[in-house]
Structure formats: structure tokens, C-alpha cells
Amino acid sequence: MRVFAIIPAGGKGKRGGTETPKQYLKFQGKELIAYAIEVFQKNNLVDEIIISAEPEYFSLLEEIKQKFHLTKISKIVEGGIERQDSVYNSLKAIKVNDDDLVAVHDAARPLLPNDILTKAINTAKEKGNALVCLKARDTLLKGGHIVKEYVDRSEIYYVQTPQIFKYGDLMKAMKKAYEKNFIGTDESMLVKALGFDINIVEGSMLNFKITTSTDIEMFEKLTHQNQ
């Protein structure tokens, strides 16, 4: 059973308030996406890494691959309009067995702890899939300008990545979604729609997604402290 990591990197990063897509912003001389890729590069359970991106960034990604010795990157493929399209393009580009594992990870989650990645992969090997999630810790409520009601947080999780599935299951879920003209916000939603139980693996606050200018500022501080 081989393990393939897919990192969709086609987002525009508009919510970050920058002209350059956030995954290509530099922090301490290294692009954000390089931090995310390095986690998979260094994990002994990962065999190959596939990046989906806009063609205009292919040459930059090749430079990043060479500069930071990201030898596990086997393909850089064209992304799609939606995240789902980018992942699907990556799935079509690789030669795998149905039982091989595919781990999809956000390019803007650069601080995934290695032990969580390892646990997620091992869980998927044992149970068929794994979804990294962060259990809700704060009080949750529904409302607009005023509080309408409070929500029981005991079974509430924030979905993170990686999301790991058998290639055959994920490809089947993708094709089914396209047949129904359905665009999901993540892969687990598509696989769940096929009737599969999805196994939760506890995530980490460090594994936050860099989306807004505040997230960028926080990551800048974290990387500066580690220098």
C-alpha cells in the first residue's frame, strides 16, 4: 500500500488581502507552500507528492522543488476552478492501485505536526480512511447581532486536513459527485455521501489554515520565533 499526498494550490488567496496568492508568499525566505510540502517530504510513510496549481506558477514550483530538495514531488498538474476539480485532476494524473492511500492537504496549512500525519496515515491503513479534525473547545452559539441559542460542543469538530482515503473510494466519490453536479467543500463530504463511515483523528491548533491577514501575521510571528 503506497501513500500519495495531493496538495491543491490553485486558490487566489483574496481573503488574505495580498496580490500574490497566499501559498506563494515568502516567510523567512521560504514560500508558504514549501512549509506544507516539507511535512510530507520528511514523513517516511509518504511515497509521492502531487501539486495542482495554475500553470503560471509551474516554474516557481519547480524552483521551490529544487531549492528545498522536495524530491517526493512527482507531478505538478493543472488545477481546476474549484478545489474539487484540482484534486480530481491530480487523481487522474497518477498511476495507483485502488487500495493505495491518497492524503489531500491544504497548501495553506504549513504547520501540520508530523505525529498527527503519521497517526492519520496509520489510521487510514487500518480502517480505510482518516479525517484530521480539531475538537471544539470554546462555547458555541447561534445568532446574528444577538444570541439565539447555545450549541452543545461535545460532538462538534473543526475539519482540518489531511483527509486520507483509499484511491478507489475517493475516485468513486468524485465521479458520483460530478454525476450529480455537486461541489463539496472537502473530500470527506463526497466520500461520506457514498455511505462510508469517516474516521476522526484528533488534529492540532498548530494545523490552522492561513486564510486572512491575521493568519498571515500569526504565521509570520511563529516562523520568526523559530529562526
pLDDT tens digits for range 205-214:
999 999 999 9
Mean pLDDT value across the chain: 94
pLDDT level of residue 224 (50, 70, 90 thresholds): confident
pTM comes to 0.93
User: What would you report as the CA-atom Rg of the chain, rounded to the nearest whole angstrom?
Assistant: 18
Does residue 149 sit within a domain? no
Does residue 145 sit within a domain? no
- What integer pLDDT is reported at residue 16 of this predicted model? 46
Grid coordinates representing 113 are 505536526
Does residue 180 sit within a domain? yes
**What percent of the chain has a predicted confidence (pLDDT) above 90?**
92
Strand partners, 148: none
Higher per-residue pLDDT: 90 or 12: 90
Does residue 155 sit within a domain? no
Examine the pLDDT at 203 and tell me if it is beyond 50.
yes
Does residue 139 sit within a domain? no
- What integer pLDDT is reported at residue 227 of this predicted model? 59
* Total of domains in the chain: 1
Mean pLDDT of 153-161: 95
Mean pLDDT of 188-198: 96
163-190 pLDDT, tens digit each: 999 999 999 999 999 999 999 999 999 9
Examine the pLDDT at 69 and tell me if it is beyond 50.
yes
Mean pLDDT of 111-117: 98
Higher per-residue pLDDT: 16 or 43: 43
Higher per-residue pLDDT: 226 or 82: 82
Quote the crossing angle between the two packed helices 167-179 and 83-93, to the nearest 10°.
130
Examine the pLDDT at 18 and tell me if it is beyond 70.
no
Does residue 220 sit within a domain? yes
In this predicted structure, which of 15-24, 28-37, 45-54, 92-101 has the lowest mean pLDDT? 15-24
- What integer pLDDT is reported at residue 223 of this predicted model? 85
Residue 182 domain boundaries: 3-132+160-225
Does residue 13 sit within a domain? yes
Does residue 141 sit within a domain? no
Examine the pLDDT at 196 and tell me if it is beyond 50.
yes
The CATH number given to whatever domain includes residue 61 is 3.90.550.10
Examine the pLDDT at 19 and tell me if it is beyond 80.
no
Mean pLDDT of 67-82: 96
Q: Measured between alpha carbons, how far is residue 9 from residues 58, 146, 176 in Å?
A: 11, 37, 23
